Structure 1
Amino acid sequence: MAVFVGALLLFLFPLAYSPGPGNMFFAAMGARSGVAATLPANAGYHAATLVVTGLVGAGFVAVLDPASTLFLLLKTSGSIYVLWLAWKMATSGRTNAGGEDRGAGFLDGVMLLVLNPKAYVIILLMYSQFAGFAFASTAERVAVISLVFTLNNLLAFLLWTLAGDGLGRMFRNETSARRLNLFFAFMLAGVALWMLLG
């Protein structure tokens, strides 16, 4: 089991810790509102990750064919949602870790995962690469993969959120905060285009 988990973590490391929709979203929210304000969205994202990963692994959710209309619809919807988040950030005022900005909610996190077609591709790739390891049952394999994948993503997102929060603390006055918001808004817009065109 330890060898399996180690191999899975090595496989997931570049996927989980490199910039992507989730990491950029949580870094931006951390910079804007502080770590505490991102916790509901983080809980939503990772609850959805655990459920979707488990359902895909158990065969209840078919992974979409990238050439299908449904995949294109999901990709377009996800890109529009991330662009909307970028617009909200670009048009907002100064950052605020003091609590008056409620940050992102549980549903924002759920939507970020559910509308990200690349998440489904990664989940399918993960299962295809690690299907050969011996487990007592399919349920055990799905449970281990889903849990390791979710917890690893959670750690990555928390690190990106902390980095964003640290950056945001250096930009608490109105002018510099506005620039930081615009920087992260452009980053999110770039992620949205990457999701759409990738």
Structure 2
Amino acid sequence: MSVAVTSFAIFAASQIGTPGPANMALMSTGARFGFKAALPFVAGVALGKQLIIWPVGFGLMELADKAPWIFELLKYASAAYIIWLAWKVANMRLSKSQGAGAAPGFLAGLIVHPLNPKAWAMIIGGFTAFVGPETSVVTATATIAAVLLGCQILLHPLWTLAGDTIARTVAGTAMEPYLMWSLATLTIASVLFVLFGGGA
């Protein structure tokens, strides 16, 4: 088989289903605004990974070989952005009476994965570890894109729903600040692990 679909699907599910910057953003959004209000953001997050997959599949990694500093700069700029978002999460409060404002929408979700070091590592790992050498670019890219999107459609809403469920329990209680700081800390830890721990 040109692409090891089953093996890649297991790998993809393990990566998409575990904590990372995107899942922490999804959980935080669900906690702050509720599951239904967060769905446009969830859709944007899911489709945003396609903005990485197709350029990588069609040769973006050749640029990485020629100018690796560009990707190194992007990696740290992305980490700084996600850490800034985590700081905002830490200072959020869940009480709807305080004026939650509008939930982040589709476009806000669309940029999460392009700014997520874990997403880049996962996609590059997919192309290098699960695609046979004679596979056409279109077949490889379309297969990886479909598998990742399928996993995201299944798993991203679960993280958002988990945030909503947790928020219903702790909103307005003494535990609320601890929840928000914990979500922020997990977000930062996931970014640092990807940057310095070699995780995907």
- TM-score band by shorter chain is 0.7 to 0.9
Query: What's the counterpart of residue 16 of structure 1?
Result: 16
1:156 matched to 2:155? The reply is yes
Query: What's the counterpart of residue 71 of structure 1?
Result: 71
> How far apart, CA to CA, are the structure 1 residues paired with 2:63 and 2:175?
43
> How far apart, CA to CA, are the structure 2 residues paired with 1:61 and 1:37?
36
Contact 1:54 1:142 in 2 (8 A): yes
Post-superposition shift, 1:61?
A: 5.7
Q: 1:191 to 1:175 in 2, by over 3 A?
A: same
Does the residue aligned with 2:174 lie in a helix, a strand or coil? helix
Query: What's the counterpart of residue 52 of structure 2?
Result: 52
Contact 2:35 2:161 in 1 (8 A): yes
Q: Deviations over 1:153-172 (max 9, x none)?
A: 23221111112211111112
Does the residue aligned with 2:104 lie in a helix, a strand or coil? coil
> How far apart, CA to CA, are the structure 2 residues paired with 1:100 and 1:92?
9
> How far apart, CA to CA, are the structure 2 residues paired with 1:63 and 1:106?
29
1:141 matched to 2:137? The reply is no
Post-superposition shift, 1:55?
A: 2.1
> How far apart, CA to CA, are the structure 2 residues paired with 1:62 and 1:155?
32
Q: Where in structure 2 are the equivalents of 1:1-198 lying within 5 Å?
A: 4-60=4-60, 62=62, 64=64, 68-96=68-96, 100-132=100-132, 137-198=136-197
Contact 1:93 1:174 in 2 (8 A): no
Contact 2:117 2:191 in 1 (8 A): no
TM-score by length of 1: 0.82
Q: 1:94 to 1:16 in 2, by over 3 A?
A: closer
Post-superposition shift, 1:110?
A: 2.6
Post-superposition shift, 1:21?
A: 1.1
Post-superposition shift, 1:113?
A: 0.9
> How far apart, CA to CA, are the structure 2 residues paired with 1:44 and 1:63?
26
> How far apart, CA to CA, are the structure 2 residues paired with 1:6 and 1:96?
43
Percent identity between the two aligned chains: 34
Contact 1:80 1:192 in 2 (8 A): no
> How far apart, CA to CA, are the structure 1 residues paired with 2:94 and 2:28?
13
User: What letter matches 1:182 in structure 2?
Assistant: W
Post-superposition shift, 1:30?
A: 1.4
User: What letter matches 1:107 in structure 2?
Assistant: L
Q: 1:193 to 1:11 in 2, by over 3 A?
A: closer
User: What letter matches 1:10 in structure 2?
Assistant: I
Post-superposition shift, 1:134?
A: 7.6
Aligned length, in residue pairs: 195
> How far apart, CA to CA, are the structure 1 residues paired with 2:107 and 2:130?
31
